[in-house]
Structure 1
Amino acid sequence: MSETASYARTPRTTPTRYRDRATWERAEIHAVLDSAWLCHLGFTDEQGRPVVLPTIYARVGDRLYLHGSTGSRPLRTAGRSAGLPVCVTVTQVDALVLTKSAFNHSVNFRSVVAHGLAEQVTDPAELAVALDALVDQAVPGRAADCRPANTKELAQTAVIRLVLDEVSAKIRQDGADDDPADEQLPHWSGLVPVRTVYGAPQPHPGTTRELPGYLADFQPGGPRG
């Protein structure tokens, strides 16, 4: 896939409502993906039943890597030659939007939806990159400061790859827009900001090392390359 400023629009990545909030800009989509580490993976099982699983992920260029177990259903299916059709979603909530009308309440958010065929990562070099990225997606710098997986652990761990091709983002960053007829009502309206807050690292009793700099300076949601 060529490196362009935007991903191609497709019927599956074009929302039916509030299309003005959608974007296919590569930089905006990457920014949403890089600000989180938890996604929801949707697929259908062998009986055609829908399944949605939460899992951790990492972005490396135009690839999403999703963590799993070698015994899990999506990993078994993704290991087949045809791959596994999936839908991956990532959502960040920024504020509750409270209006004077209950009907007009909303949420300020940033979300990404990606479709495609997921495949299991089998190349050892790519798997090493993916596993390090999965650790660093949550805590940048951590992969270099912990023991890598050994042979037994690698046999129990699997990673699937989804190439970012059919993908879009949807973003709402508006205020509490009351209907003109409601503006004089006595109810409160406005925004309630929502933030993910990380507390101070708490060392394990057996830990003797001083707090490493990447944890002391930990800024969740910061740039990840």
Structure 2
Amino acid sequence: MSTPDASTPDSYPSTPRTTATRSRERMTYDRELVHAVLDEGLLCHVGFVVDDAPVVLPQLHVRVGEVLYLHGSTGARALRTAARDGLPVCVTVTLVDGVVLARSAFHHSINYRSVVVQGRAELVSDPAEKSAALTALVDGVVAGRSAGVRGPSVKELAATAVLRLPLVEVSAKVRRGDPKDDEEDLDAPYWAGVVPLTVQPGPPQPSADLTPGLAVPDHVATWRPGA
């Protein structure tokens, strides 16, 4: 296996596992872009192997500096492995920015920004780090939310696991722009272009059992993706 290319303050190193085998022009190791995608994404998908079988699970995540924290349950099978030896994982976050409609069926696509993080996730056992990570996870969903809710109880903390994954082997892939139709199809009588997609919050809906008279907090009313 070849050695990783050196990283810079602005980029992650490329490694054999983070080097694209196709569409290499879409690959980037830009640190700022990686951080932006991880921060905007509300859910990640975590892939790992348990009992010789592949598993992929959606999980909450949050980036704190150069560490990705993953939220899980202490009852999960993978946690036994993570607590003992660390758990090899592949974590993905994908943001869909548009539907790309080409003149040919073959060239239809999606405009997207995605990040893949590979490495060994370890169980967070230090109480202070775990508490800080859980607070960051809540605020990662809605900034400022941790100050507006009851904190976790001892029982809830015992039932909750946090995995720590350093951002070392990281890559991003981005597709932007128009469809890439073949030149011979450019005069074909079919519409081509992009349908942009964005996440737009609707009006907050109070829980049916909410105490009457409680106003919607500012951090909820003003929430936007990536804010």
- What is the alpha-carbon distance in structure 2 between the residues aligned to residue 78 and residue 136 of structure 1? 25
Alignment match of 2:67 (pick from 39, 63, 66): 63
Alignment match of 2:78 (pick from 60, 67, 74): 74
Q: Which amino acid aligns with 2:119?
A: G
Residues 41-70 of structure 1 show CA distances to partners (whole Å, capped at 9, x for unaligned) of 00000x211111111111100111111100
Give the 3-state SS of the residue equivalent to 1:184 in structure 2.
coil
Q: Which amino acid aligns with 1:120?
A: L
Is the Cα–Cα contact under 8 Å of residues 42 and 60 in structure 2 kept in the other structure? yes
- What is the alpha-carbon distance in structure 2 between the residues aligned to residue 140 and residue 3 of structure 1? 30
- By how many angstroms is 1:186 displaced? 1.1
Number of equivalenced pairs:
219
- What is the alpha-carbon distance in structure 2 between the residues aligned to residue 3 and residue 209 of structure 1? 49
Structure 2 match to 1:116: 119
- What is the alpha-carbon distance in structure 2 between the residues aligned to residue 219 and residue 142 of structure 1? 13
- By how many angstroms is 1:88 displaced? 0.3
Residues 184-210 of structure 1 show CA distances to partners (whole Å, capped at 9, x for unaligned) of 111111101122222111122423321
- By how many angstroms is 1:130 displaced? 0.7
- By how many angstroms is 1:3 displaced? 7.8
Structure 1 match to 2:93: 90
Structure 2 match to 1:17: 22
Is the Cα–Cα contact under 8 Å of residues 22 and 171 in structure 1 kept in the other structure? yes
Structure 2 match to 1:212: 217
Is the Cα–Cα contact under 8 Å of residues 36 and 137 in structure 1 kept in the other structure? no
Identity across the alignment (%): 55
Structure 1 match to 2:192: 189
Q: Which amino acid aligns with 2:67?
A: R
Q: Which amino acid aligns with 1:90?
A: V
- What is the alpha-carbon distance in structure 2 between the residues aligned to residue 89 and residue 114 of structure 1? 6
Alignment match of 1:179 (pick from 178, 182, 190): 182
- What is the alpha-carbon distance in structure 1 between the residues aligned to residue 220 and residue 114 of structure 2? 27
Q: Which amino acid aligns with 1:49?
A: A
- By how many angstroms is 1:78 displaced? 0.8
- What is the alpha-carbon distance in structure 2 between the residues aligned to residue 133 and residue 139 of structure 1? 10
User: Is the counterpart of residue 52 in structure 1 residue 56 in structure 2?
Assistant: yes
Structure 1 residues 183 and 69: alpha-carbon distance in aligned structure 2, compared to 1, 3 A threshold: same
Alignment match of 2:203 (pick from 179, 197, 200): 200
Is the Cα–Cα contact under 8 Å of residues 200 and 224 in structure 2 kept in the other structure? no
- What is the alpha-carbon distance in structure 2 between the residues aligned to residue 220 and residue 196 of structure 1? 7
- The alignment's TM-score, normalised by the length of structure 1, stands at 0.94
Moved over 6 A (4+): none
- By how many angstroms is 1:155 displaced? 0.8
Gaps of 5+ in 1: none
- What is the alpha-carbon distance in structure 2 between the residues aligned to residue 125 and residue 183 of structure 1? 60
User: Is the counterpart of residue 105 in structure 1 residue 108 in structure 2?
Assistant: yes
- What is the alpha-carbon distance in structure 2 between the residues aligned to residue 220 and residue 214 of structure 1? 12
Gaps of 5+ in 2: 1-6
Is the Cα–Cα contact under 8 Å of residues 36 and 138 in structure 1 kept in the other structure? no
User: Is the counterpart of residue 41 in structure 1 residue 37 in structure 2?
Assistant: no
CA RMSD between the two structures: 1.3
Residues 126-147 of structure 1 show CA distances to partners (whole Å, capped at 9, x for unaligned) of 1111101111111111011101
